[in-house]
Chain A
Amino acid sequence: MHAFLPDFEVYTPRSLREALALLNQNNHKPLAGGTDLMVLLAAGNLPAGSYLNVNGLEELGGMEVGKDKVRLGALTTYTEIRRQAILCKEFPNLVAAARQTGALAIQNRGTIGGNIANASPAADSPPALLTYDAEIKLISEKGTRVVPYKDFHLGYKKTLLGTNELIHSVYVPRRFRNWHHYYRKVGARKSQAISKVIIAACALMNKDRIQDIRLSAGSVAPYTLRCFQTEEILRGEKKSQAAIQKAKTMILSEISPINDIRSTAKYRRYVTTQLLEEFLLSLP
């Protein structure tokens, strides 16, 4: 442990309202499951200051299955996601992401809100959420706003989240039941590995044509990318070698991978196109 603990203050608010008031007054940083923050703390890389222990706030937890959408509270853990039958059935990409996040001890603690707010371009749930047109509810003392998740990430570790705001909930609309789903993370090993490349996708088929499609990619840009242009050229297409080649060329123009400790830009470009092809070939 390299941190000097007296540099840190932690408040545990008794209610969401108190939490929001504290956030409004000064620069507290939320602490949820701690699986990102405690790692930084141990390494001596957590900025000194005030932290807000939101972990027990009931309003930020829970899952509700509505007629049109499912609400996941920001504090929903990966283990809770994996156990939710409706998510397994209708949002398998999200469950696949949860299953491949860290290992079980991490899944028991890590939250979806923390994963989104941490805004790592290599994170597992963001690509899944992008394939399902997720919306994010942000809350502050001033009020709430619901934003499409596709607009949430602005740049490397830059998001729409204000310093006085909390992520309250994530919503996924229940219109993907009959779609074909695909989620694949490529990492150094099966568990406990951060991604080198992630492709998440889903498509709605009309006979042999792709009627509608969502495609997103992780670890190949400063933030998780929804590949709008590649979607666009595939929409209405038949599954054919020509369409696959066109899509592979297009996705290469959308991503901007780099060399880092986990992989190289070259490898990431190649694997991105291969995963895209694997997804398209998996369509009926």
Chain B
Amino acid sequence: MSKNRRRIEIRFRVNRKLRRVCVHPLTRLLDILRLELGLTGTKEGCGEGECGACAVLMDGELVNSCLIPAVQLHGRSIETIEGLSKRGRLHPIQQSFIQRGGTQCGFCTSGMIMASVALLMGKKHPSSAQIGEHLAGNLCRCTGYSPIVDSVRKVGKK
């Protein structure tokens, strides 16, 4: 087998749709989403697990897609920022970020929102401390965090 033909076929779900890609086993989920599937809502910040810009849900749990190799994706279910809106309506947490200035340049926002979704799945009304812990792996260089924490705390409220 020639070296560059060492590709494997991966079948998995992205935003509930079955997907099939043929990639090298160490291709990062981040690159599969952005380069193979055109889902560029997921961002690359650091590429080493530190910033959370690439965060997505894998089987309902928050992960950094820059650290997930293709070889571990088979049969999994991935949810990205593109999967949150339903019938053209934004997810309440997306609306809350818009309403409360939780986003400025927007680069960290997809990751922040995916981390918030992971938190809100387990807790409808998280405390500030819980929000702090759940978003601790997501860095923002613009907002100073207060509007982000506010967006999560007041989600669903007017």
Contact = CB atoms under 8 A, between A and B. Distances in A.
A108 B49 contact: no
A10 B74 CA distance: 14
Contacts of A191: 133, 136-137
Interface in B42-70: 47-50, 52, 55, 61-64, 66-69
Contacts of B118: 104
Interface of B: 3-4, 6, 24-28, 31, 47-50, 52, 55, 61-64, 66-69, 71-72, 115, 118, 133-134, 136-138
A263 interface: no
Interface residues of A, number: 32
B49 A102 contact: yes
Contact of A6 (B3, B50, B68, B136): B3
B72 A38 contact: no
A1 interface: yes
Interface majority SS (helix, strand, loop, mixed), chain B: mixed
Contacts of A102: 49, 137
A227 interface: no
Given A10-B25, A42-B47, 15 more contacts: A5-B24, A6-B4, A6-B6, A12-B25, A34-B67, A38-B26, A38-B66, A42-B66, A53-B25, A103-B136, A104-B118, A104-B134, A105-B49, A109-B68, A190-B136
Interface string A1-28: 1010111111010000000000000000
A94 B46 CA distance: 29
Given A10-B69, A42-B66, A104 B27 contact: no
Nearest to B137: A103
A192 B71 contact: no
A48 to B, nearest CB: 11
B26 A3 contact: yes
A105 B69 contact: no
A187 to B, nearest CB: 12
A50 to B, nearest CB: 11
A43 B31 contact: no
B99 to A, nearest CB: 25
Given A8-B26, A41-B26, A42-B28, A108 B136 contact: no
Nearest to B27: A5
Contacts of B50: 192
Interface in A65-81: 79
B147 to A, nearest CB: 20
Interface in A26-73: 31, 34-35, 38-39, 41-43, 51, 53, 55-56
